[in-house]
Amino acid sequence: MDVDLFYAWRAILVTVTSIYVLVRLCESTWRWQQYLWAGGRPQAMLRNYLAVMVLRMRFRRFAGLLISIALLAAALALIIWLHRIVP
The 10s digit of each residue's pLDDT in 34-78 is 999 988 999 999 999 999 998 888 777 788 889 999 999 999 999
**Claim: this prediction has a pTM higher than 0.75:** no
| Distance from C-alpha of 68 to C-alpha of 72, rounded to nearest angstrom | 6
Nearest Cα residue to 50 out of 28, 31, 33: 33
Question: Measured between alpha carbons, how far is residue 5 from residues 9, 11, 15 in Å?
Answer: 6, 10, 15
What secondary structure letter does DSSP report for 39? S
Highest mean pLDDT among 12-21, 37-46, 77-86: 12-21
| Distance from C-alpha of 2 to C-alpha of 35, rounded to nearest angstrom | 52
- The confidence score (pLDDT) of residue 1 equals 62
Q: Do residues 37 and 43 make contact, with C-beta atoms less than 8 angstroms apart?
A: yes
Confidence tier at 14 by pLDDT (50, 70, 90): very high
Domain range summary for the chain, segments of one domain joined by +: 1-56, 58-87
